[in-house]
Amino acid sequence: MIPPPKICALAACAILLTSCGTPNPSSAKEDAWHIFTATTYGFNGEVLYMGDKDCYSYFLIGSHWKHYYKKPARRTNMQQRFPLGSGHPYHPTTEEVGE
């Protein structure tokens, strides 16, 4: 039998891990500068183009802690465009992301 304090600790860990799961595109911040610097200089881990939705291009940035960012699609030069969630994410170039 597991002692009650350990059960509470295990429950707290489970809650913490599930709340830090996969980020949601609806929580994306509009931050063109962050997308540009992450793509150009590699800050904050890898950058993935995830697709377009409602006139925005969505990018997933990070290594361990991933976050969605968005930028108006008209300000990007993506070689492959696809609806968010339906294509194969890829690493964009600095030229595709633009400033």
Structural domains counted in the chain: 1
* Owning domain of residue 88: 23-97
CB 99 within 8 A of CB 77: no
CB 46 within 8 A of CB 67: no
Residues 6+ apart with CB under 8 A from 73: 52, 55, 56, 57, 81
User: Is 46 within the bounds of a domain?
Assistant: yes
User: Is 13 within the bounds of a domain?
Assistant: no
User: Is 1 within the bounds of a domain?
Assistant: no
> In this predicted model, what pLDDT tens digit does every residue of 13-56 receive, in sequence order?
544 444 455 688 989 999 999 999 999 998 788 999 999 999 99
| Choice between 75 and 24, residue whose per-residue pLDDT is larger | 75
